[in-house]
Amino acid sequence: MRFEKVVMPDPDLFPKTFDRCNLFELPLERECAHCGEGDVFARRIAVPCNFAGTCNYIDYAEVPPGSSIGRHRHEPDEEEFYLVLDGHGEMWRDGDVFPVRAGDLIRNSPGGAHGLRNVGSKTIRLFVFELAVAP
């Protein structure tokens, strides 16, 4: 199985400060997330230069019915979390498959592989953040 490597965007494209935003009012960009099926709509909200701590990024994403965030693997010094705000889907994580729904917070461990598929009739709204950790 092939996994896509996660590539961080250029931090110079982001403002040096971040204070607040409304997730549901952000302009979203259409993308094929990690070679998944269909389109996902997402926005990178903040990157390391916006934080005092060890957060690598914060994203907001919408995964329409039938679309997916393809299976991908992070580096051993990256730990990613998905917080499902709305909708439900099927998560694949390191070979296990399980349902996810609004309110679920899923940890994707350092060096782990994962993907998310919307199997419902409603758009999945997702808050994603990645932390830098000691390998």
**13 pLDDT band (50/70/90 cuts)?**
low
**Does 9 have pLDDT greater than 60?**
no
**Does 134 have pLDDT greater than 90?**
no
pLDDT in tens, 51-88: 888 899 999 999 999 999 999 998 999 999 999 999 99
Q: What is the mean pLDDT of residues 81-101?
A: 97
Nearest to 109 by CA among 126, 125, 93: 93
Contact 80, 119 (CB under 8 A): no
> What are the structure tokens assigned to 64, written together?
């329409």
